[in-house]
Amino acid sequence: MGNMVNTENKSRVKVELDCPIKMPKASGFLWNKKMVVQVNCRGYVNSQYMQPEPRKYSYAPNMEEKTFIQPEHSYFTHHPGRFFYIKDEDLEQCFSVPYEPMRKKLDKFSFVQTASEIYWLIEHLELSIKISISLSKQDIVERWSLSVKNMRASGGQRNISIYPYFTIGYMSWMNQSACFNEQLNAIVASAITPYQKVEQYFKNKDLKEKSFFIADKKPTTWHTNQAAFEGEGGLHAPDALKTLTLSNDEARYETPVAVFQYRESFGENEGIDYQFLFGPAKDELEIATLAKRYFGAEKAKQAQQVYDTYIAKGQGCLAVNTGAAEFDDFVNHWLPRQMYYHGDVNRLSTDPQTRNYIQDNMGMCYINPNIARDAFILALSQQQVSGAMPDGILLHEQAELKYINQIPHADHCVWLPICLAVYLNETGDVSLLSSNISFADSNKTKTFSEHIMLALDWLLAATDHRDLSLIEQGDWCDPMNMVGYRGKGVSSWLSLATAYALNTWCDLCDDYNINIDVKKLMDYRLAATTINKAVNSYLWADNWFARGITDENRVFGTVKDNEGQIYLNPQSWAILSGAASPEQQQRMIKAITKQLMTPYGVMMLAPSYTHMIEDIGRITQKHPGVSENGSVYNHAAIFYAYSLYQINENDLAFDVLKKILPAIDDADQSGQRRFLCLIITAALIINIQIKQVVQVSYLIRVHWLGCIVV
């Protein structure tokens, strides 16, 4: 099963999987500033690039909806993939690597993710095969290599046909075709992106509408017509492999595919190496340029070094050595890599949700604080003069708010001082606070500090007669959209987070001697106390804090509810904000341990909702146990762990962490769910304050743990 290997060379740290069946959804990923590929262990690949919005060059077999990257992803036979059929012409036997689509049991299988490369090592029919994929630093191109070597000690020459099969898929109903370009030695598929409005034509003019597959070696034959290649045999036994050579078929308004055939003859220990490039292009010139740039052993090596260096820039500013190798690898390598991905490319979105954007850049404080600095300034330049933050930060002139960013959420302002604290604690760069920054709706400028205080003032104004924070159509919990959509509902979590944000700002001003009107700071401290009192008055319910009060004036998240009886976040943040007394804390912890703790981590709420509750909203419609509706939602779990560390409940806190970070060795027992959990956990952003790290793991003083599920 999975086995994480910690080698001496830190940059060669890797995760390895030795079976394609037990964890069929296990995937790795690679990215650069312009693209991301998610590579499944069985050969399926999800890839997209920015132009400026996410686009594909390897498509589904039907017209797929454009949507945000989903945390769960389904595979199916004709899902985009990169396969290699191998035919032993003498034995008349065929198999495919890495595994799909023939699904033959292979003698040896190994799927390996390193920081900057994904590869497979496979043995079958006495052939040794290595497949690898990496990216470049700058270009939108998948760099593949394939090496096939004869392992048979005797028996003379072997005749082997090798067929790379790269999915191009259903490109367009307006225009799609593909053929082999002899001059380029490439299959080039061309399409026109469907549109109907004239404006769109001009927007589309610069799109890369071609998909190409180019090789460093001339193929014997080729095929570009998906249906004809497959025939009646199906993708697992395509008709085209039943003949000696491929038929060099074009795709004319038919679904394209890129297939080459290489007929090779191997003696003892002989083999061959191929290089392939796959991606989108505007024209043939661009394809030729890429081939020139990356083909050849030396150039490929160089490109890999450049890419290694690029990814290595994602190294965190600290390392731990706890004696637990997997935990160390996770904290030292995989976690910074994940943080770097988020901070580097903002989830390959042009309009990251404001909360995410600020949090992702909080992570960057430990990798490249200047990027975080610029991001904070950019975010504040999109603030309204009223202090309100927008629901998404626009990163591109053509960007617009999409999906969830069209829904008003009330919490974006609270993250500003919280994330600023991380930046200052890490850099001490108080000069940021006097930077002058303009607004979305005004050219006048104010300092960073003034922007922060406008945000705090906005939060304080967005409260009701009870001093509780209005939730509008959501707070941190996006799908809690109907608690306050009629303008009355309030959120305990948002109230507590506001108090915490106020205190955090005041602490920063004290710690860093920031020159702010003392009266103003006293007002903020007082306001925080007032909020904490209000939450205690209206939302303390026996043994824990309720989650809010709806538009209907109904307190929810208490024993009176059959479902959604207890929520985790209000408890964690009541600890952080100071609202919870030591006695309350103990009662909360007891309730959480009893009602929310599981062997796989702490749930976000319990019991999960099984039907719609109209004064709570969309969260109650999600599948029970999925995402916000009562799963082990790591972001919330990490808030809880962090709050426990604040009150020196270190064992308890570490237990919360350990449960969502199971040792990989356990994966075999609990199976796929656990491995998936690891994959999701790899999406954690943990920011650890360097000064306070000690080397005994359970005493790690975690300053901040923020988790974002990709």
CB of 111 or CB of 485, closer to a copy of itself: 485
What's the min distance (Å) between Cβ of 176 and a copy of itself? 7
Q: How far is CA 578 from CA 412, 671, 690, in A?
A: 21, 40, 25
- What is d(CA 214, CA 53) in angstroms, rounded to the nearest whole number? 25
Q: What is the identity of the amino acid at 493?
A: W
- What is d(CA 482, CA 478) in angstroms, rounded to the nearest whole number? 10
> Strand order of the sheet with strand 93-97?
93-97, 82-88, 158-167, 256-266, 221-225
- Three-state SS sequence of 164-204: EEEECCCCCCCCEEEEEECCCCEEEEEECCCCCCHHHHHHH
Is residue 561 annotated as part of the catalytic site, yes or no? no
Could you list the beta-strand ranges (E) of 432-528.
Answer: 436-437, 446-447, 469-470, 490-491
Strand partners, 82: 166
Tell the residue number behind the tokens 């993939």, with chain if given: 81
The DSSP result for 208-220, as a single string, is: --EEEEEESS--S
CB of 265 or CB of 406, closer to a copy of itself: 406
What's the min distance (Å) between Cβ of 107 and a copy of itself? 17
- What is d(CA 511, CA 24) in angstroms, rounded to the nearest whole number? 51
CB of 153 or CB of 198, closer to a copy of itself: 198
CB of 219 or CB of 474, closer to a copy of itself: 474
CB of 33 or CB of 253, closer to a copy of itself: 253
What's the min distance (Å) between Cβ of 199 and a copy of itself? 10
SS3 123: strand
- What is d(CA 116, CA 698) in angstroms, rounded to the nearest whole number? 31
What's the min distance (Å) between Cβ of 541 and a copy of itself? 27
- What is d(CA 235, CA 83) in angstroms, rounded to the nearest whole number? 11
Exposure string for 141-151, b = 16+ CB within 10 A, e = fewer: bbbbbbebbbb
Q: Taking a C-beta distance cutoff of 8 angstroms, is the pair 548, 556 a contact?
A: yes
What's the min distance (Å) between Cβ of 570 and a copy of itself? 23
Q: Count CB atoms within 10 A of the CB of residue 585.
A: 17
Q: Taking a C-beta distance cutoff of 8 angstroms, is the pair 423, 362 a contact?
A: yes
- What is d(CA 28, CA 16) in angstroms, rounded to the nearest whole number? 10
What's the min distance (Å) between Cβ of 235 and a copy of itself? 7
What's the min distance (Å) between Cβ of 209 and a copy of itself? 10
Residues that bind a copy of itself (CB under 8 A): 21, 60-67, 70, 72, 74, 76-79, 103, 170, 173-177, 192, 195-198, 201, 232, 234-236, 252-253, 255, 403-404, 406-407, 473, 481-482, 485, 617-618, 621-623, 625-626
What's the min distance (Å) between Cβ of 198 and a copy of itself? 5
What's the min distance (Å) between Cβ of 672 and a copy of itself? 11
- What is d(CA 67, CA 325) in angstroms, rounded to the nearest whole number? 38
Q: Taking a C-beta distance cutoff of 8 angstroms, is the pair 277, 291 a contact?
A: yes
CB of 20 or CB of 219, closer to a copy of itself: 20
DSSP assigned state of 365: T
What's the min distance (Å) between Cβ of 257 and a copy of itself? 12
Which two structure tokens, joined as six digits, stand for 518?
């003392």
Q: Choose among 181, 256, 254: nearest CA to 219.
A: 181
CB of 68 or CB of 651, closer to a copy of itself: 68
Strand partners, 128: 123, 149
CB of 60 or CB of 690, closer to a copy of itself: 60
Which two structure tokens, joined as six digits, stand for 638?
């990490």
Which two structure tokens, joined as six digits, stand for 372?
């975080």
Question: Cα Rg for the chain, rounded, in angstroms?
Answer: 28
Q: Choose among 599, 582, 676, 685: nearest CA to 642.
A: 685
CB of 322 or CB of 629, closer to a copy of itself: 629
CB of 33 or CB of 201, closer to a copy of itself: 201
Residue of 329, 467, 478, 615 with catalytic role: 478
Active site residues: 478
